[in-house]
Structure 1
Amino acid sequence: MAELRSFFEDLGFTDVATYVQSGNVVFRAKKGDAASLKSEIEAAFERKWGFHSRIMVRDAGWFERLVQDNPYPEVAGEPTKLHAYALEREPTVEETKPLADKCTGPERFEIKGDVLYLHAPDGLGKSVFVNLIPRTLKVPGTARNWRSVLALLEMAGKAGG
């Protein structure tokens, strides 16, 4: 993670911090929107390490909305049972329907914009449904448990957005 932090600092970002061994980096950028920062970071990553890696960039406001829009507030106190998938884009209804058809319980999910919220009452380790999400939805994304979501939001606030 120190090397990743250094990579972001070398790109000119400030207040760079990483979160555990998750590949999450919180930073402050002087200019650029999420799309342009994503392109810049992906290109630099490929130059440095010689392979392409999908990068997602979200701002502090996005994390604030993610937490505010949680459709399962009653389980927010059980952070290993509530997960948020940051999706590259909002899925279409046609893309979401097959996933809904396969969600037969005990899990439940809801998609709001480019976030899939998943309540897995038995945890991800025992969930069969969780493995169906990327194969069925076909919209690239990355999942974080609720504890990680809240930690990243707090870090983003300290970085000033």
Structure 2
Amino acid sequence: MAGAVALLRGINVGGRNLIRMPELQAAFRDAGYLDVRTYIQSGNVLFATDAVAGAALEDGVERVLEERFGNAILAVVRSRDELAAIVDAAPAGHGDPDLRSDVLFLKDPAAVPDLLAAIPELDPEVDRVSPGPGVLYFSRVAARASSSRLTRIIGMPIYTRLTIRNWNTTTRVLALLDGA
């Protein structure tokens, strides 16, 4: 069995889609996943599976969540190795303390070029964006974060097909999958 993480979109945010972590863990265990753990309250579920990460696994996780909680919740699932490749491919400086750095995980990894092309013009003094394996890396200068144009993607149709994690969460989930 291989380690994987399900990155759930929009749970426990702004008082919507409230799901307690013990209930979320139970849903995964009841579906047959092993070594189920969660990290923070924002929908990071680490688990072991013999299924290959991809659309079929994501669809299965989403079915489990909808049946258990009555809400359609987007799940982006990445294997431990896929997450390690994402961390390793980060551009130089991503995660520096003077930046707010995020990873935009796309439901459809092949859609990275479409999202990159659709992003409105960025302020090069504030924002940096780089494509990666099934993700976009987005950083903004922390001291000027209120000037960032990242929020412009919120109104885009593709926004509903991605979930965002900050760099610290991304690297911590990988460390947890590695047993740290």
Give the TM-score range, shorter chain: 0.7 to 0.9
Which aligned segments of 4 or more residues in structure 1 are displaced greater than 3 angstroms?
92-95
* Identity among equivalent pairs (%): 24
Q: Which residue of 2 aligns with 1:153?
A: 174
Structure 2 alignment gaps of length 5 or more: 1-20
Q: TM-score, normalised by structure 2?
A: 0.76
What displacement does 1:11 show? 1.0
Paired residue total? 157
More displaced stretch, 77-86 vs 139-148: 77-86
Q: 1:94 to 1:7 in 2, by over 3 A?
A: closer
Q: TM-score, normalised by structure 1?
A: 0.84
What displacement does 1:144 show? 1.0
Per-residue deviation, residues 37-67 of structure 1 (Å, max 9, x unmatched):
2111111211122221111111011111111
Q: Residues 81 and 123 of structure 1 are in contact (CA less than 8 Å); yes or no, is this contact kept in structure 2? A: no
What displacement does 1:32 show? 4.0
Alpha-carbon distance in structure 2 between the residues aligned to 1:84 and 1:122: 16
Is 2:58 the counterpart of 1:45?
no
What displacement does 1:23 show? 0.5
Q: How does 1:7-156 map to 2 (within 5 A)?
A: 7-71=27-91, 73-78=92-97, 81-89=100-108, 90-91=110-111, 93=113, 95-99=115-119, 101-105=120-124, 106-122=126-142, 126-136=146-156, 138=158, 140-156=161-177
Q: 1:138 to 1:156 in 2, by over 3 A?
A: same
SS across alignment from 1:52: coil
**More strand per residue: 1 or 2?**
2
